[in-house]
Structure 1
Amino acid sequence: MPRPIARVLALLELLQSGGTRTASELADRLDVDERTVRHYVGHLVDLDVPVEAVRGRYGGYRLSPGYRMPPLMLGDDEALAVLLGLVAGRRTRLTTAAGTASETAAAKIRRVLPERLRTRLDAVLDALAFTAPPGEAVTPESGVLLPVADAVTHHRPISIRYTDRNGRGSERTLHPHGLVAHAGKWYVTGADLTSGQERTLRLDRITDVRTLPGSFEPPAGLDPAERVLTGLATAPYRHEVTLRVQGTAEHIRTRLPPSVAIVEELPAPETPDGADPRAEPRVRVEMRVDRLDWLPAVLASLDRPFVIERPDELRGLVEAFAARLGHCARAEHS
């Protein structure tokens, strides 16, 4: 195939991946200059492919909404990657389409595969086992996910309707900073202009997304995933737990990940000559939990000395847990 034709098809494939692509981005991906990109766009328009030119700071080229893709041509590796992605997404609750869309998409792909390849892929799927059972999906609507993702990418403010965990609804203006998938749920982090605070919001509780005029500049060095994990660890719960543990932060986080606890390294104890370099490392652990009954076993699994600063109720649970372990260790074999 002549290179210009191959690049025109590559341009179409880039545009079909969604969103608005700038001329400079397309030129870099196609290894041509921006003038040639405009020439290739003209070829697509001549072929009745509805390419739109978007003006403005974040302008570029995109396909008109509702444009249908031509038939796909997938190689063996590509077909396997797509089907495994659909299956894994459904099992890990990270599918974003409502209902059985991922199942129907997989069925459509299977129907157009050659018999030889379909049989081999079915053998993979039949033999594949997962270590955890599938959970109930908590997924956003595509009508929410897509405009939020576009606003994150192009730094555009959005207006949303949000329902909190107590069922209270509100309207908010948000500067969205990032999308994060965690533990089967989707979150957006950003600056909530309505409350004046940084917020982490679940996408499945958002409706009526509208893109607002203008743009914003996101904070430098922002890590949306870290923001979500910290937000989950500091969310209001029934009990606030604080511990001092003798050990490294790295070791503690193997049992208490960032979504569960905030782990802070403590300075070495002071001596008349300054900090003691021989002292064991220590950390402070802070958690917010609805229940305390699971913590004694986790603290025992740390295999490190610890001091409970609060709450007093946790001390009693740890003592009772230790007594049960001692009783079991002393029990005679029946």
Structure 2
Amino acid sequence: MLETSARLLQLLSLLQVHREWTGSALAERMDVTERTVRRDIGKLRSLGYPISASPGVAGGYQLGAGAQLPPLLLDDGEAIAVALGLATIASGPIAGIGEASVRALAKLEQVLPPRLRPRFSALKGSVSTLAAPTSLVDPDCLTAISSAVSQRRAIGFTYGNSDGVTSRRVVEPYRLVDTGRRWYLVAWDTMREDWRTFRVDRISSAPTERHKYLPRPLPTENLVDYVQQSITRSPYRYDVVVRFHAPLARIAEHIGPSLAQLQPDGPEQTILRAGWDSLDYSLMHLSMLNVDFDVLEPVELRERARQMAARLERSGREPSAHHHDR
């Protein structure tokens, strides 16, 4: 049985690196008969590998693309390259693929042969990335959280809030969300008995696994929107809503998803929702886009805009003679 399994892996490896093999070429390479090759091809097909066969003297076997991805066979060099690439992506998030890279890295590290782990650790430690202005996260922390999410297992860690105060948290993790600049964890905080959003770069200790937990009803169906709202609106004094007289694409060039929620209001207008603690600060940022906008909420912001407009109008007048003399 062991010999047959090893032979199937060898056959699969050959099919992955060569576009098409004849039965005789495979038999010669594997030192078996063509009948054995045909039998092994049938076994691989029964396992879900889409192997096509073309008839005739010039025909052969080819591994095709299937609807589902079968187990991937990597040699030592390929495994190291994939793991290192995934670790680099995880530590410097790339919007849209960062979360998938963390899940893949968690799976790959579980099956990485012991002989390759020192080599992978050495390579990972010797590579540095000139990162964009992002909050860098240890990929080991991300993979630990990702594993806990998939296993439905609570984790404990030390967390620092925005004021730098640290506390010990025990949470039931549900989702990692990559905003392109930061990683966030959506979890049920067992000590506060409520849903919380945690910035992963503020986790200062390695997450430790705790008990298994039963899934709870989520606070919302879309946890990505939940994170965006929690980081752009919930923590702030004022919930600001404005309508820009410009298409969504133009506004999105200047305002990222970690700063505000944007949605189109027809082809030529955009609704912005964001949180601010200062009305003056919000008006300053909104005005810097050099785009006309209407203040929809709150009423206090409209009044503050009128006061600021009056002050700016007075500032634009010609200085009086009295001021010239001084």
With structure 2 as the length reference, what TM-score do the two structures score?
A: 0.50
For the pair shown, which has the larger CA radius of gyration, 1 or 2?
2
Alignment equivalent of 1:187, drawn from 164, 184, 188: 184
Aligned equivalents of 2:124, 2:206: Cα separation in 1: 29
1:260 equivalent in structure 2: 259
Alignment equivalent of 1:169, drawn from 158, 161, 166: 166
The alpha carbon displacement at 1:321 in A equals 5.8
Query: What SS is found at the alignment partner of 1:212?
Result: strand
2:300 equivalent in structure 1: 310
Query: What SS is found at the alignment partner of 2:169?
Result: strand
Tell me, yes or no, if the aligned pair for 1:158 and 1:173 is still in contact at 8 Å: yes
Moved more, 289-298 or 225-234: 289-298
1:126 equivalent in structure 2: none
Aligned equivalents of 2:272, 2:178: Cα separation in 1: 28
The percentage of counterpart residues that share the same residue type is: 16
Aligned equivalents of 1:179, 1:209: Cα separation in 2: 14
The alpha carbon displacement at 1:87 in A equals 7.4
Q: What is the total number of aligned residue pairs between the two structures?
A: 231
Partner amino acid, structure 1, of 2:215: E
| Alignment of structure 1 residues 67-86 onto 2, 5 Å | 71-73=76-78
Partner amino acid, structure 2, of 1:229: Q
- The change in CA–CA distance for 1:150 and 1:8 in structure 2 (over 3 A counts) is farther
Tell me, yes or no, if the aligned pair for 1:190 and 1:198 is still in contact at 8 Å: yes
2:8 equivalent in structure 1: 4
- Deviations for 1:234-281, whole angstroms, at most 9, x for unmatched residues? 2434x5253453769947963555432346899xxxxxxxxxxxxx98
2:238 equivalent in structure 1: 240
Structure 1's unaligned 5+ residue stretches are 11-29, 35-68, 110-129, 267-279, 328-334
Tell me, yes or no, if the aligned pair for 1:161 and 1:171 is still in contact at 8 Å: yes
Partner amino acid, structure 2, of 1:242: V
Partner amino acid, structure 1, of 2:187: G
Tell me, yes or no, if the aligned pair for 2:158 and 2:168 is still in contact at 8 Å: yes
Partner amino acid, structure 2, of 1:153: S
Aligned equivalents of 1:310, 1:319: Cα separation in 2: 16
Query: What SS is found at the alignment partner of 1:204?
Result: helix
Tell me, yes or no, if the aligned pair for 1:175 and 1:216 is still in contact at 8 Å: no
Aligned equivalents of 2:179, 2:125: Cα separation in 1: 27
Aligned equivalents of 1:185, 1:252: Cα separation in 2: 23
With structure 1 as the length reference, what TM-score do the two structures score?
A: 0.49
- Deviations for 1:280-318, whole angstroms, at most 9, x for unmatched residues? 989574422568446446347474441362244454445
Structure 2's unaligned 5+ residue stretches are 1-5, 15-43, 49-73, 103-118, 319-326
Tell me, yes or no, if the aligned pair for 1:177 and 1:224 is still in contact at 8 Å: no
Alignment equivalent of 1:209, drawn from 184, 207, 210: 207
Partner amino acid, structure 2, of 1:147: A
Does residue 105 of structure 1 match 2:107?
no
Aligned equivalents of 1:233, 1:167: Cα separation in 2: 20
What root-mean-square deviation, in Å, do the aligned CA atoms of Structure 1 and Structure 2 show?
5.2
Tell me, yes or no, if the aligned pair for 1:245 and 1:285 is still in contact at 8 Å: no
Query: What SS is found at the alignment partner of 2:211?
Result: coil
Does residue 197 of structure 1 match 2:194?
yes
Aligned equivalents of 2:139, 2:87: Cα separation in 1: 17
